[in-house]
Structure 1
């Protein structure tokens, strides 16, 4: 395994030739937004849906001559590919292409610090499977189609809590499989840290560190439950500030620290291993339902648009997903 921190690559992106089709698509989208603003800009939206599928509606021209002329001008303006000087040398370009085309290595960003990690593909696969084969937190699922049917049935059972647009958003899409990958936790590997100290260079190399762990990432923007999870997040996030231990960012944390503490005070921190996978689904649901009941007055007084949707939270019970 190789651990690389190449400063120039980190701070300087290679120049890319203009993408003419993408630029034209951006111009068309901009023109569409102008027409939508013209037609709906001053109208009040009475729709209370929290989520909805993206509309493809484009208003017809003819309402404003100035706007029509402007849109016609920018859409017909000639777009040409510009020739610009490359900001990487030929050797640097060849090196990047060689790394990109090499199937025997895989390149990942470090979990912390922004370092570039180059690993043997076989070693990376071993580390991924080592994590996925942990039956305490992961199990192989082969019935995704059944889960899709179950999800749609559950949403239908709760249709009185949802608007038509919300139901369409949650059900009317083609789910895709999620991608699992891992970011190397180089800052927690004693072998890598010792190598960094010994070699003291921007580029260090070590052989298959046995203590290296990966931070699991599941990328699933169109996975089976992504939209449902997003919808539930919109509902319950309004209650998060009501939790006594809720900290929004580092500055708020600093504001919670006492200005003066006894001299013998120790500042300590704790790291929970596999935090989210260690939270039982039933316990998580119980905590959410408890908070809802405790803050019912807040929901009734200031959160009317989402009050009728609280029942949807029960869709993701642990015995269903």
Structure 2
């Protein structure tokens, strides 16, 4: 299970700016209204399923035909820049269990690493019991029951819609997977790894999307908000530097996201929601947002290795 601790943010940075929309009835339950719902599986009545089957078979045959000609230098008049030997070499690399191939953290390069070093570097990170704790069993089933109970309560209070409830109800969630991207810009020979947890298909994916969709409108209201590099450069252009000698200093935060204190992050969200006039009387809505956020941040877990 992943747990995180770190230095709390300065309360002075939590000052909100901007204006909240008003005019909502404070005694009417405010739903999240994210619009997210499961993809439709409905087939229109005027669509012939036999045509869908035929289309899929044609696509399958086209893939086989492409594989048959992939070693040639020309295919339908189009040049292919891979020789047969190139393809064989790539396939041999894919089958080589002594190496691992990952995209670089920055720059777009493809990095081939010794698997032993890659695994050892990850294990070094995971031995940091300030941020990570091993667990003895898969918690997916118990966590799913907790999440379903919370969402069923929110549905009964009209905080979330039926579509949002179904969207967050994964029938067969997968376990999040941990891996790293090599930071070759830091050390090209022995690159440290940027930790990544692939949560696609996990029980956390859709609840996180629901929260992101709801909370995103508050982000530009924060005093510390920077949209992008262009905005930052624009702000720098307005800064007057008096004559004299100055040192220009850059700083890099090590393990930024795992260093953010979860409790302070939850407090910051509470602080922001408490100042939205639409939510002043919406205690149950605020409670749901807090509990869903707490669930995602404090119950996060992942698998590394077999």
Which residue of structure 2 lines up, in the alignment, with residue 126 of structure 1?
Answer: 120
How many residues in Structure 1 have an aligned counterpart in Structure 2?
A: 241
- State the TM-score, normalized to the length of structure 2: 0.69
Alpha-carbon deviations, 1:177-209, whole Å to 9, x = none?
1111101112222xx3xxxxxxxxxxxxx5xx3
Alignment of 1:4-43 (within 5 A): none
Q: How does 1:157-168 map to 2 (within 5 A)?
A: 157-159=153-155, 160=157, 161-168=159-166
Provide the C-alpha distance between the structure 1 equivalents of 2:208 and 2:250, rounded to a whole number of angstroms.
30
Flag the 1:308–1:109 CA change in 2: closer, same or farther, 3 A. same
Partner Cα separation in structure 2 for residue 121 and residue 249 of structure 1: 36
- TM-score if structure 1 supplies the norm length? 0.66
Within a 5 Å distance, the mapping from 1:26-105 to structure 2 comes to: 48=33, 50-61=35-46, 81=65, 84=75, 85-105=79-99
Which whole-Å deviations, capped at 9, do the CAs of 1:274-296 have from their partners, x for residues lacking one?
222222222111101111222x1
Kindly report structure 1 stretches of 4+ aligned residues shifted beyond 6 Å.
76-79
Match of 1:129, SS?
A: helix
Contact map agreement 1:232 1:312 (CA 8 A) in 2: no
| Contact kept? 2:34, 2:213, Cα under 8 Å | no
The partner residue of 1:235 within 214, 217, 230 is: 214
Q: Is the 8 A contact 2:105 2:182 kept in 1?
A: yes
Q: What is the alpha-carbon distance in structure 2 between the residues aligned to residue 320 and residue 132 of structure 1? A: 17
Give the Cα separation in 2 of the matches to 1:250 and 1:78. Answer: 47
Q: Trace 1:1-321 onto structure 2 (pairs within 5 A).
A: 48=33, 50-61=35-46, 81=65, 84=75, 85-141=79-135, 142=137, 143-159=139-155, 160=157, 161-189=159-187, 192=188, 206=189, 209=190, 212-259=191-238, 260-263=240-243, 264-294=245-275, 296-297=276-277, 299=278, 309-315=285-291, 316-317=293-294, 321=299
- Displacement of 1:95 in angstroms is 2.0
State whether residues 178 and 223 of structure 1, in contact with CA within 8 Å, keep that contact through their aligned partners in structure 2: yes
RMSD, aligned α-carbons: 3.1
Compared CA separation, residues 78 and 167, structure 1 to 2 (3 A): closer
2:179/2:196 contact within 8 Å kept: yes
Shift in alpha-carbon separation, 1:76–1:219, aligned structure 2, 3 A: closer
Q: Which segment drifts farther, 80-89 or 253-262?
A: 80-89
Higher relative contact order (CA 8 A, sep 6+): 2
Cα deviation, 1:293-313, whole Å, max 9, x if unaligned, reads 22x14x57xxxxx99854432
The question of whether the paired residues in 2 share the 8 Å contact of 1:107 and 1:118 is answered with yes
- Alpha-carbon distance in structure 1 between the residues aligned to 2:202 and 2:114: 29
Contact 1:106–1:121 under 8 Å retained in 2: yes
